[in-house]
């Protein structure tokens, strides 16, 4: 599958995260960290940006699909694990990062700081693992 044909992110998962989107969840998922942070601190630009994103979601999905590499580690599953079980390190264990996953489990995601880091970098972490495995 070529870079333009891949489907690293799911529009359905994007809409599920949009429910929490007033905190920027869907924007972080689609790799828009800066606006994700802005949405987090302003409740989705006072809910107005959150509503507008309902219509912008398909273009964010296409952009993420072209930007990130799919492979053995599924972006959507990693994001679901981060969103709902991140403080327990489930997403890190899924990616094969056992040591940091256990540390997250014992420290509640390094007291939240690790979770914030992963919100900003999870797409790149997954893509880097997938690229490394593709290149062998």
- For the stretch 120-136, pLDDT in tens is 999 999 999 999 999 98
Those residues whose C-beta lies under 8 Å from the C-beta of residue 33, and which sit 6 or more positions away, are: 27, 119, 120
Q: Could you tell me which residue, 4 or 61, shows the higher pLDDT?
A: 61
pTM: 0.91
* Number of domains the chain is built from: 2
Q: Averaged over 73-99, what is the pLDDT?
A: 97
The verdict on 112 and 132 lying in the same domain is: yes
The verdict on 16 and 49 lying in the same domain is: yes
The verdict on 58 and 84 lying in the same domain is: no
The verdict on 94 and 59 lying in the same domain is: no
Q: Which residue has the tokens 């079980």?
A: 85
The verdict on 100 and 125 lying in the same domain is: yes
What is the C-alpha to C-alpha distance for residues 18 and 127, in angstroms, rounded to an integer?
22
Q: Averaged over 5-11, what is the pLDDT?
A: 89
The verdict on 29 and 82 lying in the same domain is: no
The verdict on 61 and 84 lying in the same domain is: no
The verdict on 61 and 96 lying in the same domain is: no
Q: Averaged over 100-109, what is the pLDDT?
A: 98
What is the C-alpha to C-alpha distance for residues 104 and 91, in angstroms, rounded to an integer?
10
Confidence (pLDDT) at 1: 46
Q: Which two tokens stand for residue 58?
A: 């398909």
The verdict on 49 and 76 lying in the same domain is: no
Give the residue numbers spanning the domain of 59: 1-67
The verdict on 45 and 85 lying in the same domain is: no
Final residue before a domain boundary, out of 10, 44, 67: 67
The verdict on 54 and 114 lying in the same domain is: no
Confidence (pLDDT) at 22: 81
Q: Which two tokens stand for residue 39?
A: 């949405």
The verdict on 61 and 80 lying in the same domain is: no
What rounded mean pLDDT belongs to the chain? 94
């Amino acid at each position: 599958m070529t870079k333009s044909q891949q489907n690293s992110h799911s529009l359905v998962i994007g809409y599920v995260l949009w429910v929490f989107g007033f905190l920027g969840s869907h924007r972080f998922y689609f790799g828009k960290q800066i606006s994700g942070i802005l949405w987090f601190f302003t409740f989705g630009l006072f809910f107005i940006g959150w509503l507008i994103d309902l219509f912008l979601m398909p273009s964010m999905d296409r952009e993420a699909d072209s930007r990130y590499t799919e492979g053995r580690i599924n972006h959507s599953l990693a994001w679901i694990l981060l969103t709902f079980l991140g403080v327990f390190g489930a997403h890190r264990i899924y990616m094969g990062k056992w040591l940091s996953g256990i540390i997250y489990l014992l420290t509640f995601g390094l007291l939240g700081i690790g979770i914030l880091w992963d919100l900003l970098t999870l797409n790149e972490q997954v893509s880097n693992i997938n690229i490394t495995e593709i290149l062998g």
